[in-house]
Amino acid sequence: MTTRSTNTLSTQPQDVVAFWVEAGPQQWFSKSADFDAAFRARFEAAHMAAAARRLDGWLDVAPGALALMILLDQFPRNAYRDTAHMFATDPLAQHFAERAIAAGLDLEVDTGLRQFFYLPFEHAENLAAQNRCIALMEPLGAESLRWAVLHRDIIKRFGRFPHRNAALGRQTSQAEREFLESGGFAG
């Protein structure tokens, strides 16, 4: 993977998707300072453009919608790890996910990438969104569904994700502290 800097005018949806596909599941769901740095160097300007609603037109086609999901939901979790900015574009990612799913764009991408249209719901601190995620993940198989249920159960129990408390400046309850200290989900 290269770490060249790319400005938003030259970044295209296929650039984002190709980078993500090349990285693969081992990078998607693990913590790696090198991967985070490469992702940030390559796509931070595109993330900011998407957050400022300058890339809304990408939602017209499946690869563009997928790129928006990556830039607004996945990118901040890597580029701004352990900060409040990790979650800053979650509502926008959910908004675009709703629109993309309503248009059937999620069904136009490879099954292995489809989950990225549904993860904004899994990342929501909202039980209705969590239940929606489970319904969307069911056809994708046991592993995706397992993580969706885990996230939903945390929201059902606490109404929020306790591992976010420090980054968001929230007080951690005793029950949340015990959950985290006993190996509860840490993001």
Candidates 52, 56, 53, 73; CA nearest to 13 is 56
The verdict on residue 100 lying in a domain is yes
Q: How far is CA 93 from the centre of its chain?
A: 8
Q: How far is CA 5 from the centre of its chain?
A: 22
Spatial separation of the C-alpha atoms in residues 177 and 187, rounded to whole Å = 15
The verdict on residue 97 lying in a domain is yes
The verdict on residue 4 lying in a domain is no
Spatial separation of the C-alpha atoms in residues 25 and 177, rounded to whole Å = 30
69: containing domain: 13-182
The verdict on residue 5 lying in a domain is no
107-152 tens-digit pLDDT = 999 999 999 999 999 999 999 999 999 999 999 988 899 999 999 9
The verdict on residue 8 lying in a domain is no
pLDDT band at 185 (very low <50, low <70, confident <90, very high): confident
The verdict on residue 167 lying in a domain is yes
DSSP assigned state of 163:
G
CA dihedral 132, 135, 140, 146 (to 10 degrees): 80
Number of domains in the chain: 1
* Mean of pLDDT values over 61-87: 96
Q: What is the CATH number of the domain that holds 162?
A: 1.25.40.10
